[in-house]
Amino acid sequence: MKQDFFNVDNIAYEGSESKNPLAFKHYDAGEKIGGKVMEEHLRFAVAYWHTMRNPLSDPFGVGTAQMPWDDGSDSIDNARQRVRVFFQFLEKLGVDYYCFHDRDVAPEADSLAETNAQLDAVVATLKEEQERTGKRLLWGTASLFTHPRYVHGAATSCNADVFAYAAAQVKKAMEITHELGGLGYTFWGGREGYSTLLNTDMRRELDHLAKFLHMAVDWKKQIGFQGQFYIEPKPMEPTTHQYDSDAAACLNFLREYDLLDHFKLNLETNHATLAGHTMQHDLTVAANAGALGSVDANTGDLFLGWDTDQFPTDIYQTTQIMLIVLEMGGFTTGGLNFDAKRRRESFEPVDLFHAHIGGMDTFARGLKIAHAIREDGRLAEFVKRRYQSWDSGIGDAIESGLAGFEDLEGYALENGEPVNVSGRQEMLENLINEFI
Ligand code: XUL
Ligand code: CO
């Protein structure tokens, strides 16, 4: 596109000594860390909804974001213009992937048929821009929470007509994701929950949600879409309780309804913390089940109890995330999608760069530190040694199923009071800080 709305050069890696705020200090796409280059480890994605569509409003005030490329209309020309500006942003930032909701890229019209036609028109531009730049769609999704028809939920609505409408919408969203060569498709249950149990048949709603996802699995096969399906947990907001509340709840649901083979999880930091967990906790739960697929990279605010979707700036946090990602052998279909927005006060287009540069550098540091911790080996060795009583003797007999209650009673009577050793939490915290 001819016009440059950002007046920013391509963001370059300048090293940690650089004082240029529009340069990477730590993210060097081509730098090898343990046999793989940084861009392959981190697989950054930009979220279309925050970057192009978030006006930065809050419950008390209107949007402040300056979008000189956007005429504010619902026209297809304007939607296409946004797409071109978005790809210009990806190019300047040097990020290879993006994610979008159907309604982020094209507006709803008066009928589903018209809406789908509008979507197709904008998808053609997305495709053109993908081909021009080589950028790829990390995952697509459908907004099943914005329109008033979804007031009671989508797949879990009390209204079967709404379920049908949502199914039609997801069918189309899957088709365009497939057409764009998307590597995945995400289901975030924005209103799949309740405000009060007084009016809610939870059993029935969960059965319906499972039916919906089975239909999606069937449609995936039918159209030959090879991408990965993800569920993105979140405990609340917009509803009081969302069914996909955390990683464990999602895994239980998927297992109960025989869906586990078809889904992995897309975990978002601010959602995990809203659920009362650390991000490491939810990542570990998912990784243990072989279901850690992708990450929505952001962070919450220590003092605000809602989804503030801030850009990650905490090296300690990104180190812990990357320790788990490296331990599972890295991302395959997934990546680090910045589901994050600038603060309302950061309303100039250049702030989009500052925000993403900060997030990328913070993850680059987390990656390097996590890699160094793993190379050092002391942390892993400590954990291994902590469980050494299970490697032989009675521990081995228990793990191998060779001991029952009677044997263990005999063992305890004979061996007397067990002797414990320290967990050394503070020592390990110091060890992590050695690397930061
Ligand atoms: C909302 C959220 C969504 C999903 C995609 O909190 O995280 O944007 O990532 O629907
Ligand atoms: Co998200």
Region 99-120: mean pLDDT is 98
Distances (CA, A) of 264 to 105, 156, 271, 398: 25, 20, 16, 31
Q: What is the mean pLDDT of the chain?
A: 98
Answer whether 106's CB lies under 8 Å from 119's CB. Answer: yes
Burial (0-12, 13-18, 19+ Cβ within 10 Å), 369: buried
- From the list 26, 41, 50, 101, the catalytic residue is 101
Percent of the chain with pLDDT over 70: 100
- From the list 102, 104, 244, 339, the catalytic residue is 104
Region 105-122: mean pLDDT is 98
Taking CA 27 as the corner, what is the angle to CA 23 and CA 30, rounded to the nearest 5 degrees? Answer: 115
pLDDT in the model for residue 305: 84
Domains in the chain with CATH codes:
12-376 (3.20.20.150), 394-435 (no CATH)
Cross-strand bridge partners of residue 61: 58
CA of 44 to the centre of ligand 2 (A): 14
- Residue found under tokens 């050494």: 388
Ligand 1 site, residue 309, Cβ cutoff 6 A: no
Sign of CA dihedral 139, 189, 86, 334: negative
In 94-235, alpha helices (H) = 102-105, 112-133, 160-179, 202-223
Atom from ligand 1 closest to the CA of residue 188: 10
Percent of the chain with pLDDT over 90: 98
pLDDT in the model for residue 1: 67
Distances (CA, A) of 214 to 169, 233, 304: 15, 18, 37
For residue 371, indicate whether it is catalytic: no
Residue in 373, 375, 379 with CA at minimum distance from that of residue 427 = 379
pLDDT in the model for residue 137: 99
pLDDT in the model for residue 261: 98
For residue 391, indicate whether it is catalytic: no
Identify residue 160 by its one-letter amino acid code: A
pLDDT in the model for residue 2: 73
pLDDT in the model for residue 109: 98
> pLDDT of 363-406, one tens digit each?
999 999 999 999 999 999 999 999 999 999 999 999 999 999 99
> pLDDT of 21-61, one tens digit each?
999 999 999 999 999 999 999 999 999 999 999 999 999 99
> pLDDT of 132-164, one tens digit each?
999 999 999 999 999 999 999 999 999 999 999
Which string of DSSP letters, residue by residue, matches 224-268? T--SEEEEE--SSSSSSEESS-SHHHHHHHHHHTT-GGGEEEEEE
How far is Cα 128 from Cα 414, in angstroms, rounded to an integer? Answer: 75
Q: Does residue 335 have a pLDDT over 70?
A: yes
The bridge status of strand 32-33 relative to strand 36-37 is antiparallel
Residue 45: DSSP 8-state = E
Nearest protein Cα to ligand 1, atom 5: 188
> pLDDT of 187-239, one tens digit each?
999 999 999 999 999 999 999 999 999 999 999 999 999 999 999 999 999 99
CA of 296 to the centre of ligand 2 (A): 5
Q: Does residue 296 have a pLDDT over 70?
A: yes
Q: Does residue 94 come out as left (phi exceeding 0), alpha (psi in the -120 to 50 range) or beta?
A: left
Cis before 238 (ω within 30)? yes
To test ligand 1's pocket by mutation, which of 147, 268, 271, 310 has the most ligand atoms within 8 angstroms of CB?
Answer: 268
- CB neighbourhood size of 372 (10 A): 15
CA of 406 to the centre of ligand 1 (A): 51
Residue in 105, 89, 109 with CA at minimum distance from that of residue 97 = 89
> pLDDT of 249-293, one tens digit each?
999 999 999 999 999 999 999 999 999 999 999 999 999 999 999
CA of 145 to the centre of ligand 1 (A): 10
**What's the predicted TM-score (pTM) here?**
0.97
